[in-house]
Amino acid sequence: MKKTFIYTLILLVFTFAFAQLALAGKPADCNNIQSGLITDSAGNPVVMGYDEFGYNYQAHMFNGTYDSSDRTIDGTYWGDTGDYVDDKLMMTWSDAWLANVDCDNDGKLDRGLVDGVVGGTSLGWLTNHVVGDYSDTEGVHNFTDFVKIVWTGPGSPLWGQYTIIQEVLNDQAGGFNGLLEKLGIPGLGLNEQWTVL
C-alpha cells in the first residue's frame, strides 16, 4: 500500500513537471487544440490525437504518406504524381516549427512561436523519415531516408530559410548505406554556431 502511494505521488509530480514544460513560453491566453477553435487549412477543426491524414499536432508528430501529408488524399503530393506518393512518411518537429496552440488568435496553429511571440515563419527544427520503394529495370528496391532540417535564417540553402544538417540514406540498390551528410554541429544545430532561438 505504501509503495503504491509513493509510485502515485511520483507519477503526479512527473505529470505536473511535464505539463509545466509543455506550457513554457506560451501565454495563458492562447487557444489550445482542445478548445475546438483551431482549424486546418481547409477550415476543419484540428483534433486531439491522430487525424485521418496522419497528423498529431498535439504531440508534434505525423505518421502517414506523402499523399496524406498535404492533407488531401488524392494520389498526389501537392499535385505531383511521382512514384514516392505512397511512401511512408514520419515527421516530428519542435514547438517553434509548428506550435500546438494559437496565440495570435488567427484560428491556426502558430508558426515560429518563441517566448510567447509568434513570428509567422517556422523556426526550430523538423525531422523527416521516409520508408519507400522504387522500380527500375532490375526490379523493386526498398530505401529509407532520414533528414534533420533546421531553421538557419534568410539566404539558407533549403527553401531560402533552412539547412539540412544530417541525412542518413539506406538504399542498397542505389549504393547508399548510412550517413550521407552531417554538418559538424551537435544535436539539431540550435547553438551559437547557428541562429539562437
> pLDDT tens across 100-129, in order?
999 999 999 999 998 888 999 999 999 999
Q: Based on the number of CB atoms within 10 Å of its own CB, is 122 exposed (0-12), middle (13-18) or buried (19 or more)?
A: buried
**Cβ atoms of 42 and 31 closer than 8 Å:** no
Query: Residue 131: what pLDDT?
Result: 96
Query: Residue 101: what pLDDT?
Result: 96
Residue type (1 letter), 74: D
**Cβ atoms of 69 and 78 closer than 8 Å:** no
Query: Residue 27: what pLDDT?
Result: 59
Query: Residue 116: what pLDDT?
Result: 84
Positions in the chain short of pLDDT 50: 5, 7-25, 191, 195-197
Q: Based on the number of CB atoms within 10 Å of its own CB, is 179 exposed (0-12), middle (13-18) or buried (19 or more)?
A: exposed
Query: Residue 29: what pLDDT?
Result: 87
| Separation between Cα atoms, residue 66 and residue 74, nearest integer Å | 11
Q: Based on the number of CB atoms within 10 Å of its own CB, is 190 exposed (0-12), middle (13-18) or buried (19 or more)?
A: buried
